[in-house]
Amino acid sequence: MIKLKEYNYSTYAKYYDLIELDLEEVDRLNELLDKKLKKFKVKTLLDMTCGTGAQVIGLLKKRYKITASDLNKEMLNIAKKKTKKIKFYQRDVRYLKLGKFDAVITMFNAIGHLNKNEFEQALQNIKENLNENGIYIFDIFNLDFMKDKFRDYEYIDRLKEINGLKFVRLNNNKLDKNNGIMHINQKTWIQKGVFKPKVICENWDMQIYSQEELKERLERNGFEIIEFLDRSGEKFDKKNSLFIFAIVRKK
């Protein structure tokens, strides 16, 4: 089984919200999550890959009883500073046991950091943390979209200036179409004013799936497919949806 190169969240933790998060996009995603969670009468929620808290902070306002976990200590420390109303744990999505919940979420391509065997380990563990007929919601890049529209050239991925701090990030990625692995090569410049910039270089991998493979793996590991959507909430389009937004139920 192919071993994926890991992303170093510790390096980026203090910059993560500034670089990665578009607040309007986060709000839209949380509204979609809330809509789907309410449809299934979810009251207790476990975010297994909460990062700095983008989902749990927003969903806390919707009156769910929330528990959160992440593998990275630095990301968790940032989340903890945002609220005292959620219990946070440092745990691995493949092994954590925190009780039984109506729903589990792992957002922002979190499962893409797991290779295929590790993903199946995580699925088995997610079931252990779900109530009977519990719901699991996650998103992941769509391999069919990537095969057709992948950018095989270097490009500017982020260009921001926030409170006098400038961020420029370049991506020069490669796609292994046969194995569904995106090899990511990122270089980020972080500059305050006109002072010498800090440059962070990262090389890491992300496992991505086609709709068909995702369906097969989920069903083989004891989940029933409820629906695949685009992350906008619209119907999933195999060729034109960048993301697969998956809603599945524990059998």
Give the Cα separation of 191 and 188 in Å (integer): 10
Structural domains in the chain (count): 2
Task: Give the helix/strand (H/E) hosting 228.
Answer: strand 223-229
Same domain, 55 and 138: yes
pLDDT of residue 157: 95
Q: How far apart are CA 124 and CA 161, in angstroms?
A: 42
Q: In this structure, are 50 and 151 located in the same domain?
A: no
Residues 30 and 80 reside in one and the same domain = yes
Asked if the structure places residue 153 within a domain, the reply is: yes
Tens-place pLDDT, residues 135-193? 999 999 999 999 999 999 999 999 999 999 999 999 999 999 999 999 999 999 999 99
Please tell me whether residues 124 and 163 are part of one structural domain.
Answer: no
pLDDT digits (tens, 9 = 90+) for 28-74: 999 999 999 999 999 999 999 999 999 999 999 999 999 999 999 99
Residues 137 and 213 both lie in one domain: yes
Question: Does residue 1 form part of some domain?
Answer: no
Residues 6+ apart with CB under 8 A from 163: none
- Same domain, residue pair 134 and 55: yes
CATH number at 130 reads 3.40.50.150
| Residues 74-111 pLDDT 10s | 999 999 999 999 999 999 999 999 999 999 999 999 99
Range of the structural domain that residue 24 is part of: 9-142+209-250
The pLDDT score that the predictor gives to residue 185 is 98
Is 3 part of a structural domain of the chain? Answer: no
In angstroms, the CA 24 to CA 58 distance is 12
Tell me, yes or no, whether 4 lies in a domain.
no
